[in-house]
Amino acid sequence: MRAHAFIDWDDTLAENIGFFRQAIEAMVDLISRELGLEPHVVAETGNRLDLEIARTMGLTRQSFPTAWSACYRELCHRVGREPDPGVLRQVRAHADWAYEQPQRLLDGAEPLLRWCRQEGFEVVIWTAGDPEVQRAKVVRSGLARLVDAVYTVSRKTPATLREHLDGRPSHLTVVVGNSLSSDVQPALANGVWAVHVPADTWEYDHAPVNVAHPLYRQAGSLREVPVLLATLLPRRTA
């Protein structure tokens, strides 16, 4: 029987979080200068709203600009100012910039996908965000030839993973990703292998996980993942 690898994209196979942090720095600088507020006040408000809105809307294309537009409006109200439409357009432009940057593949990304293909795995990119945006990232990377499917959801939860597992045998399925909340927890909740590749993440990705769980494994880097998969899921063919 064939084995199945559900592999996260952003910050597992390709850089992503750095662009959003650059955009946040630009928005914090803009809003703090416009309203005469300390940058840490703007950052705390924006990060709080970013997390709240992401948890409400999911990681859609609109959640990030919505959060930081709301940050500007909230702080305008706090200092007794009317929001300036021109500043709101600048905030939106900074937020949009983060989605438009070409991604750099992380070390070991292509070797991992190539190994999975050679070993007969079904390779599924399992990612959160806007379907059009996420699929375009895979195509631009040049790795689409190594991928069988791209599944995109606004939230990666046990329920959405269960839906997309679609009856695949749990003992032949693995989820690989950097997020404890979006990759590891859903995998363990569905009784499939979880290979955690730790990376710098934001609070949305944080979650308590039982590292002693029999289905949990941690890889020091992407280059260690094939060795782990070879141990967990001995060679299978379609």
List, for residues 95-142, the tens digit of each pLDDT value: 999 998 889 999 999 999 999 999 999 999 999 988 998 999 999 999
CB-facing half-sphere around the CA of 5: CA atoms within 13 A: 32
Tell me the pLDDT band of 34, cut-offs 50, 70 and 90. very high
On the question of pLDDT at 94 being above 50, the answer is: yes
Average pLDDT over residues 147-151: 97
Sign of CA dihedral 20, 26, 32, 35: negative
Mean pLDDT score of the chain: 93
Q: Can you give the pLDDT at residue 127? A: 95
> What pLDDT shows up at residue 238?
46
Supply the DSSP symbol for 103: P
pLDDT range class, residue 237, cuts 50, 70, 90 = very low
Average pLDDT of 217-232? 94
Percent of the chain clearing pLDDT 70 (strictly above): 98
**173-177 and 149-153 strand pairing:** unpaired
How does residue 236 score in pLDDT terms, banded at 50, 70 and 90?
low
Would you state the torsion angle of the CA atoms of residues 49, 21, 223, 127, taken in this order, to the nearest 10 degrees?
40
Mean pLDDT of the region 50-64: 89
Residue 7: in which H helix or E strand, if any? strand 4-7
- Mean pLDDT of all residues in 64-69: 97
